[in-house]
Amino acid sequence: MRLAWSRASLRRTLLLALASGLLLASGLGLWSAWDTARDAANAAYDRSLAGAIKAIDANISTASGGLGVELPYALLEFFQLTASGPVFFRVATEDGLVEIGNTDLPPPETGLVDGQPRFRDASYLGEPVRLGSYARRLDPPPSGHAGGTRVVIQVAETLTSRQHFTRALLLEAGARNALLVALALALMALATGWALRPLARLSQEVRQRAPDDLTPIPVARVPTEVRPLVEAMNHHMARHQQASAAQRRFVDDASHQLRTPLATLTTQVDYALRDSAPGPARETLQAIHHQLGHATRQVNQMLALARADATELQPQPVELVALARELTRDAWPQARAAGIDLGFEAPETPLPTMGHAALLREALGNLLHNALRYTPAGGHVTVQLAREGDSARLSVLDDGPGLAPDELGRVGERFFRGRHARPGGTGLGLAIARAVAQRHHGTLELQPRPGGRGLTASLRLPRGPSGPEKDGKPRVFPDQSDPV
């Protein structure tokens, strides 16, 4: 439950909390409105009930020696219309010896004060009624009664009119409350969205950053409540930047510390091979020379992979046609020695992109090296460039054994080698190509060629601007238009 709550949207959480509080307050307000409406209805209708009591009291007489009442029928009929139901009355002496009207009305409560009517809810004939009771002393008292005798007047009405009046007031208050709640919720949604706009803008800015962009996020443009989070992110990026810098320094140091001894050993073994006579010693030196060559290539591949992962990219204009043409031309001697037909196909116009030229050369060089290594004599290898929408595709097509379908999913894994791999490889060439493609927001794609023989390895990269710069000056790329 706590995990699900922590994953909830901040906007949803705020709106839920505010809406819950608002609905609770609205419910309390409706309850208060109902109580107030009930009190207002009772106050209004009790005054009418008191008027009926006063009218009856004004028509009570003891002049004949008994208790007489001349009922104001017109007033009672009008009161019945107002009450929207029957009206009941009872006039009696306090001792109950004389009773006029509905004698079975509920008895009045004790402690009536002369001249002060009292009202309460009661039940009569199985129906709820509002009962008003009033007492005063009779002067002169009826015959047979001692002085100080009091007359009790009771008038009861049904609650239909009161209930209609209370319901009308409550519905009016409910409609007003619903309108206010809807307006408040709309304002809260707008206010919450407006208050969270800096967070949305910050999220968009971070999302649009390049993967290697570790510059601090400006703290001045974010709300005070979010600043601790942004400062923590900046601190984390600073630590990551330091780690990347340390990794780059390690790669640079390793390049020098590993390559120099290997180059020195290779030179010494070459010198020894020139002066050694045929025999076991020469065979041993040749084996050492072969292993040194393998170790040198493996070190170079590992360092190239480390550079692909750690190099800080500062994108520059790179013309892919010229870069691929130069790599293909450099590979001609190796292709001729292996009896492989090496071709080059590219559009006539430049194919620009923004990136790191050395890394792109390393990636394409690894694809070309793999193709030449696994293509048999008499086979064909083609370096092919093409435009595809907003992307540029650099492909190397070969006639080698290719990869099995179950191996294609593992392409790009470090040190992975297919079942057709030849001895002496490192299993890092495709990993380097994939890492370089990802650093340039591209992809590495491998597809079997038609017929089940050969492989197409492609680097898909986003195309860079080929038109004029913002200052109006045209871009200039290296012109290497010599035919291959």
CB 448 within 8 A of CB 402: yes
Mean pLDDT value across residues 201-224: 78
- Counting Cβ atoms within 10 Å, is residue 328 exposed (0-12), middle (13-18) or buried (19+)? buried
Spatial distance between the Cα atoms of 56 and 71, rounded to a whole number of angstroms: 6
Above 80 in pLDDT, residue 481? Answer: no
Q: How far apart are CA 449 and CA 69, in angstroms?
A: 118
Work out the end-to-end distance of the chain between its first and last CA atoms, rounded to an integer number of angstroms. 66
How far is 93 from 135, CA to CA, in rounded Å?
A: 9
User: 3-state class of 396 per DSSP?
Assistant: strand
Give yes or no for a contact between 296 and 267, defined as CB atoms under 8 angstroms apart: no
Dist. CA 157–CA 159, nearest whole Å: 7
CB 455 within 8 A of CB 398: yes
Residue 270: its pLDDT value, please?
79
For residues 366 and 430, the answer to whether their CB atoms sit within 8 Å is: yes
Q: What span, in angstroms and rounded, lies between the C-alpha atoms of 327 and 346?
A: 13
Question: CATH top-level class for 316-462?
Answer: alpha beta
Q: Indicate yes or no: pTM above 0.75.
A: no
- Which SS3 state, helix, strand or coil, does residue 8 take? coil
Q: Which residues contact 130 (CB under 8 A, 6 or more apart)?
A: 42, 45, 46, 49, 119, 120, 121, 122, 156, 157, 158, 159, 162
Q: Per-residue pLDDT tens for 215-274? A: 788 887 777 877 888 888 888 888 877 777 776 666 666 666 666 777 777 888 777 777
- The answer, yes or no, to whether residue 325 has pLDDT greater than 80, is yes
Q: pLDDT, tens digit, for every residue of 38-54?
A: 888 888 788 888 888 88
Q: 327 burial class (0-12, 13-18, 19+ CB within 10 angstroms)?
A: buried
Higher pLDDT, 466 or 434: 434
Q: In this structure, what token pair is assigned to residue 231?
A: 């400062």
Highest mean pLDDT among 19-28, 74-83, 331-340: 331-340
Residues in the chain: 484
At residue 126, φ and ψ (nearest 5 deg) are: 75, 15
Model confidence at 326, pLDDT cuts 50, 70, 90, reads very high
* Residue labelled with tokens 């601090």: 216
- List the beta strands (DSSP E) in 49-174: 60-61, 68-69, 87-93, 99-101, 118-124, 127-137, 150-158
Quote the CA–CA distance of 336 and 299 in Å, as a whole number: 27
At 363-390, the pLDDT tens digits run 888 888 888 888 888 889 999 999 888 8
Q: Which two tokens mark 216?
A: 């601090």
- Predicted confidence (pLDDT) at residue 91 exceeds the cutoff of 50: yes
Would you list the domain boundaries of the chain? Answer: 31-167, 213-312, 316-462
**For position 329, what pLDDT does the model report?**
92
Q: CA 35 to CA 416: how far, in whole Å?
A: 79
Q: Are 165 and 41 in contact (CB under 8 A)?
A: yes
The CA–CA distances, whole Å, from 20 to 13, 184, 277 equal 10, 12, 95
Q: Is the pLDDT of residue 406 over 60?
A: no
Q: State yes or no: cis peptide before 423, omega within 30 of 0.
A: no
Q: Name the β-bridge partners of 341.
A: 380
Identify the DSSP state of 211. Answer: T
pLDDT of residue 482: 36
Six token digits for residue 111: 């402690």
Cβ atoms of 429 and 300 closer than 8 Å? no
**Counting runs of H as helices and runs of E as strands, what totals does the chain give?**
12, 14
pLDDT confidence of residue 134:
92
The pLDDT assigned to 133 comes to 92
451 Cα distance to chain centroid: 47
Q: Dump pLDDT digits (tens) for 151-198.
A: 899 988 888 887 788 888 888 888 888 888 888 888 888 887 787 788
Q: What pLDDT score does 415 carry?
A: 46
Q: Indicate the pLDDT class of residue 473, thresholds 50, 70 and 90.
A: very low
* Reported confidence tier of residue 312, pLDDT bands at 50, 70, 90: low
Element (H, E) at 401: none
State the burial class of residue 322 (Cβ atoms within 10 Å of its Cβ: 0-12, 13-18, 19+).
Answer: buried
